[in-house]
Amino acid sequence: MEKMIKKRIDQVKEKGHQRLTVLLIPHGFDKSFHFQISIFTIFFLVGLLFAIVGIAVLGIVKYNNTRIQINALASVYGKYFDEYIEYSEKLGDIRDDFATLNENLQEVHSLIDGESDELLKLPDESDSEDLAATELKLEEAGDKDLMIGRSYLSEIYGYRAVRVSMDKNRPLVDSVFSFLDNRYGIMNSLPFGEPLFSYNLTSYYGMRRSPTFGYMEFHDGVDLANVPGTPVYATGDGRVYRAIYSPRGYGNHIVLAHANGYYSLYGHCTKLLVRDGEYVHKGQLIATLGATGNVTGPHVHYEVWIGESNRTDPMEYMKVGLGQY
């Protein structure tokens, strides 16, 4: 039996190695030429040709199926499909930006002596990805067409993990925001800032020669000169302690009572735009600049008090770096 099989194999090899002569005779008087080729080679070339044709047909079929699935995706994800593709390329940058933002938030949280319990509630990256995957499975269970996206839109699915991380970090953001909002409210309630957008500083706080009487006197505030009618703004949240029209001294003037025993005074105004007892906000227009009372020219006499009698240098409060309103 083995001899018979070996004999058949030898016969096939012998047949396969037989050579055929191919003769090519061109038109005209050119010389003909020929070449030899084995039967095995012919079978190999024919097989290779069929393989190439088969691969090409398979590629065309797969391409058509891919286009059909992508068109289906476009109908599922709507008219913003192209934008999804574009933004998916930026997913890596978004993850990096979020990681940096999260680190900065945690640092700010620690600097403001935030509760450490809030940090312990934050999920790590793997937990966020698991939560995102769970959400997606629930959505896909409700709409089977969405599952097509896993083959083509993996980056877009990655956005879900980032969004989940952002949602889970919300307590940290809220904690930081609450602290800053509270501190911002405190800062707003103090007379920090300038009562005029622009001015010429014509007299400082402290000892000076009286411009009207010529003798030395202590100047309780600063004089900020500008043209009559220039808007005068409250430098902090507070209640109008008094709003007085007077031809002497401070002239028409306003005193605001702020938090923690602070007061601010705005003197020599033309018009007073608030009344006694009224609550005003930082940056609110309260008067217009003028030259009423004991003055030599139009300006606002501005003072800051701690309590009703302790005058302080207003420049220390005007130049605290909080910016204009």
Residue that has been written with the tokens 């130049």 in this structure = 319
Asked whether residue 220 is assigned to any structural domain, the reply reads yes
Please give the radius of gyration of the chain, using alpha carbons only, rounded to the nearest integer. 43
Which long-range contacts does 52-61 make (Cβ < 8 Å, 24+ apart)?
none
Task: Report the pLDDT averaged over residues 150-164.
Answer: 62
In contact, 32 and 24? CB cutoff 8 Å? yes
Residue 186 has pLDDT above 90, yes or no: no
Q: What percent of the chain has pLDDT over 70?
A: 53
Task: Report the pLDDT averaged over residues 288-310.
Answer: 92
Give the whole-angstrom CA distance, residue 264 versus residue 284: 14
pLDDT tens string 7-43: 666 665 566 566 666 666 666 656 666 666 666 676 7
Q: Say if residue 28 is exposed, middle or buried (CB neighbours under 10 Å; 0-12, 13-18, 19+).
A: exposed
**Who's near 92: CB < 8 A, 6+ residues apart?**
none
More confident residue, 83 or 249: 249
| pLDDT score at 124 | 58
Task: Report the pLDDT averaged over residues 207-232.
Answer: 86
Give the whole-angstrom CA distance, residue 207 versus residue 213: 14
Residue 146 has pLDDT above 60, yes or no: no
Give the whole-angstrom CA distance, residue 281 versus residue 188: 8
Asked whether residue 76 is assigned to any structural domain, the reply reads no
Asked whether residue 219 is assigned to any structural domain, the reply reads yes
Average pLDDT, the chain: 77
| pLDDT score at 243 | 96
Positive or negative: CA dihedral 133, 134, 139, 141: positive
Buried b (16+ CB within 10 A) or exposed e, 143-153: eeebebbeeeb
| pLDDT score at 120 | 44
Most confident region among 18-22, 185-189, 280-284, 306-310 by mean pLDDT = 280-284
CA distances from 321 to 82, 144, 179, 312, 315 (A): 46, 57, 20, 18, 12
Give the whole-angstrom CA distance, residue 68 versus residue 77: 14
Task: Report the pLDDT averaged over residues 123-143.
Answer: 64
Asked whether residue 174 is assigned to any structural domain, the reply reads no
Q: CA angle, corner 171, sides to 99 and 93, nearest 5?
A: 20
Domain CATH for 217: 2.70.70.10
Asked whether residue 13 is assigned to any structural domain, the reply reads no
| pLDDT score at 55 | 83
In contact, 276 and 242? CB cutoff 8 Å? yes
Q: Say if residue 237 is exposed, middle or buried (CB neighbours under 10 Å; 0-12, 13-18, 19+).
A: buried
Q: CA angle, corner 239, sides to 236 and 243, nearest 5?
A: 105
Specify the number of domains making up the chain: 1
Asked whether residue 118 is assigned to any structural domain, the reply reads no
Asked whether residue 313 is assigned to any structural domain, the reply reads yes
Residue 227 sits in which domain range? 200-319
User: Which of 70-84, 201-215, 285-299 shows the lowest mean pLDDT across its residues?
Assistant: 70-84
Q: What percent of the chain has pLDDT over 90?
A: 30
pLDDT tens string 243-272: 999 988 899 999 999 998 999 999 999 999
Task: Report the pLDDT averaged over residues 207-236.
Answer: 87
Alpha helices in the chain (DSSP H): 2-17, 39-77, 81-88, 91-111, 116-120, 125-142, 149-152, 154-168, 170-188, 315-318
**Who's near 158: CB < 8 A, 6+ residues apart?**
88, 91, 95
Task: Report the pLDDT averaged over residues 104-118.
Answer: 62
In contact, 271 and 288? CB cutoff 8 Å? yes
Tokens of 160: 């879900």
Q: Say if residue 158 is exposed, middle or buried (CB neighbours under 10 Å; 0-12, 13-18, 19+).
A: middle
Give the whole-angstrom CA distance, residue 102 versus residue 309: 48
Q: CA angle, corner 104, sides to 102 and 107, nearest 5?
A: 110
Task: Report the pLDDT averaged over residues 139-144.
Answer: 63
Residue that has been written with the tokens 């309260």 in this structure = 286
Asked whether residue 117 is assigned to any structural domain, the reply reads no
